[in-house]
Amino acid sequence: MPNQVPNTSAVIGSGTMGPGIALMMARSGSAVYLMDIDEKALQRAREGVQMASNVLKSSGELTEASAHQALGRIHFTTSLSEAVKSADFISEAVPEKLELKQKVFSEMEALVSSDTILSSNTSGIPISKLQEGRSRPERIVGMHWSNPPHIIPVIEIIRGDHTADQTVETTRNYALAMNQVPVVEHEIPGFVENRILYAIMREALHLAETGVASMEDIDATIRWGIGMKLAVIGPLALLDVAGLDIYHSVASYLNQELCSDTGISRLVEEKVTQKNLGFKTGKGLFDYAPGEIPELMRARVATLLKLRQELMKADV
């Protein structure tokens, strides 16, 4: 693969994740086929890639000309065969259902050339399950983008039982060529990012339920305290800064106080029963004024973009 960028890529499934992934691939110089079985989803994806490119233009990461070029490299299709037949690299982003993904992998295998890499954006299905029954499981790999894929740099690359080192390396190099931050993992439920996020969410929900602080103050503690630090230094590197002896003495009494519930938070159970699901229903753990949700989304994207630019510039 010259310059580590495949000549042709395909993204299968153009829902929430597909358009941003397709834009990042096209931006790196690859021709991209964005495929969906649903013509309406594909229509929304045309707007999706345009919106994602507008976001990158607003942050100065794409110019008018480079955005135009990237968008020109994306082809939309409802034909799996057209999408994958000349692809060197595929990102599968269909809904998180094992049988559906297995069917798509089986169909793709029959259409692609022998050295095409087949990656899955699954959030949690073991890659080894997608390798079962495939004739060339060594070229199947997890490539888990974080949402929104054109804004959040990390990409978890997950080895299944049969993934070849070369497959991992090619996937990693492609992520680097897209200016993303690849991390390589063995498969484990939730992968690394969600395991840590869910540990934080469990403790935050537990503290909210006990009433020790308001939900606003719990979130503020994380955003303006550990969250800010963690954007610059990971928790393991932070341990060296704090001193392992300090961690040892605090952890000796604090670890046993932390929430270790294996069930779901009572607070979340209540809200789900009431059908207060968050942004999608206009009310969740927090209440939102009319018109507030789109404005919050816009402001958060703008802040994330600025933060990403600063973090990418920093070399710490």
Ligand X SMILES: NC(=O)c1ccc[n+]([C@@H]2O[C@H](COP(=O)([O-])OP(=O)(O)OC[C@H]3O[C@@H](n4cnc5c(N)ncnc54)[C@H](O)[C@@H]3O)[C@@H](O)[C@H]2O)c1
Q: What residues make contact with ligand X under the rule CB under 6 A?
A: 12-18, 35-38, 41, 93-96, 100, 104, 121-123, 144-145, 147
In order of 61, 93, 122, 136, 161, the CA distances from 130 in angstroms are 35, 13, 10, 11, 10
Helix (H) or strand (E) holding 206: helix 191-210
Toward ligand X, which CB reaches closer, 190 or 225? 190
Task: Give the shortest CB-14-to-ligand X separation in angstroms.
Answer: 5
Strands 89-92 and 181-186: unpaired
Q: Which is nearer to ligand X, 21 or 206 (CB)?
A: 21
- Residue 35 vs 305, nearer CB to ligand X: 35
Nearer to ligand X by C-beta: 81 or 113? 81
Smallest distance, ligand X to C-beta of residue 148, A: 8
Locate tokens 């690299």: which residue? 89
The DSSP symbol for 298 reads: H
Shortest CB 149 distance to ligand X, Å: 8
**106 vs 260, beta carbon nearer ligand X:** 106
Shortest reach from residue 21's CB to ligand X, in Å: 9
Give the containing element (helix H, strand E) for 235.
helix 235-242
Nearest approach, Cβ of residue 10 and ligand X (Å):
10
What are the b/e assignments for 34-69, b being 16+ CB within 10 Å? bbbeeeebbeebeebbeebbebbeebebbeeeebee
Element housing 12 (H / E): strand 8-12
| Tokens of residue 147, six digits | 């949402």
Minimal CB distance to ligand X: which residue?
Answer: 15
